Amino acid sequence: MCRLMEERNFPAKKFRFIASARSAGSKVTFRGEEHTVEELTKDCFTGSDLVIASTPDEIAAEFLPSAVEAGCKVIDESGYWRMKDGVALVIPEVNPQDAIDAKGIIASPNCSTTQMVMALKPLHDAAKVKRVIVSTYQATSGAGVQGTEDLVGGSKAFLTGEKYDYKVFKHPIAFNCIPQIGSEKELGYTSEELKMVYETRKILGDESMQINATCVRIPVANCHSETITVETERPVSPEEARELFSSFPGLQVVDELASGKYPLPNECDGSDLVFLGRIRRDISHPNGLSFWCVSDNLRKGAATNAIQIAELLASQK
């Protein structure tokens, strides 16, 4: 987030950096100046206008109400506030007015939700999406720094025939796929899968949309990929879908199957866009459309989306 705010020249007169007691007193260099990290307390928000928080759920639950009480606009990347009543869940390209109208905390969605909803929005506006079947292929960076260290360390150990003690994953991720992300929830679904269901409905404002998600961790360092099949009220041809995607902000179509051109995680890494390819009719349903979707989960799936919400709020001043 710090790097993105530098790159995008975020408009603020003063920046403060706040973290746990363990990190308080350390130094952060931002825009060529050294800043001392302050300790997170319930009284630390006084005098600030905007808080952008990326913390564990329990920290967000405990401290962010104090930021609201101090008069701050709050953008939260944790999962704690997303589905709470009265909390706006926002992707700026999709539902910016929800952020503008928000009174307290504004939540940024789950990374796998964000890229899917970006793709669904133009289809939903044009032909109303009734049903979605999505399978995700999620990178190890989604499990944090240690997730990627597990991928690298586990891969080296696999190739040399050595043992590796995985810190994040319950099963080896090297040369493997793990069909569980998050904890077990009702009906055999995981928390990650249900996030995609409930968050998508909230962002798009459509509780009638039927969504079935399967989330899988794969041995890719960064960028989540998804196969998405949608059923719409009327048929949407691949040609129309390409036009809808191409004209929507933040989406880029890469779709030339004959020449082997489609979004690849290692080519989408470091971009703020959501990439779409393999756009084709669903031959099992007359109103069906299938496509492939890739996005950098650390950028648009997390940090970029939060910064874009902040930029939207700043533009209203």
Provide CB contacts within 8 A for 112, sequence distance 6+.
Answer: 136, 138, 142, 192, 195, 196, 215, 224, 226, 297, 301
At residue 294, the pLDDT reads 98
CA torsion 124→126→130→136, rounded to 10°? -50
Average pLDDT over the chain reads 97
**Average pLDDT estimate for 8-35:** 94
**What confidence tens digit (pLDDT) does each residue in 195-243 have?**
999 999 999 999 999 999 999 999 999 999 999 999 999 999 999 999 9
Q: Which CATH superfamily is domain 2-109+303-315 in?
A: NAD(P)-binding Rossmann-like Domain (3.40.50.720)
Task: Retrieve residue 122's tokens.
Answer: 């133009």
Residue 108 · residue 90 · CB < 8 Å: yes
Query: In the chain, pLDDT over 70 holds for what percent of residues?
Result: 100
Task: Retrieve residue 204's tokens.
Answer: 């798009």
Work out whether strand 288-295 and strand 224-232 pair parallel, antiparallel, or are unpaired.
antiparallel
**Average pLDDT estimate for 293-309:** 97
- Distance, in Å, from the CA atom of 153 to the CA atom of 165, rounded to the nearest integer, reads 9
**What confidence tens digit (pLDDT) does each residue in 249-288 have?**
999 999 999 999 999 999 999 999 999 999 999 999 999 9
User: What 3-state DSSP class applies to 189?
Assistant: coil
At residue 239, the pLDDT reads 98
Which residues are designated catalytic?
111, 224
CATH of domain 112-298: 3.30.360.10
At residue 243, the pLDDT reads 98
DSSP letter string over 57-118? Answer: HHHHHHHHHHHHHTT-EEEE-SSSSTTSTT-EE--TTT-HHHHHH-SSEEEPPPHHHHHHHH
At residue 36, the pLDDT reads 97
- Confidence category of residue 180, pLDDT binned at 50, 70, 90: very high
- Distance, in Å, from the CA atom of 45 to the CA atom of 103, rounded to the nearest integer, reads 17
Residue spans of the domains in the chain: they are 2-109+303-315, 112-298
Statement: residue 179 has pLDDT above 90: yes
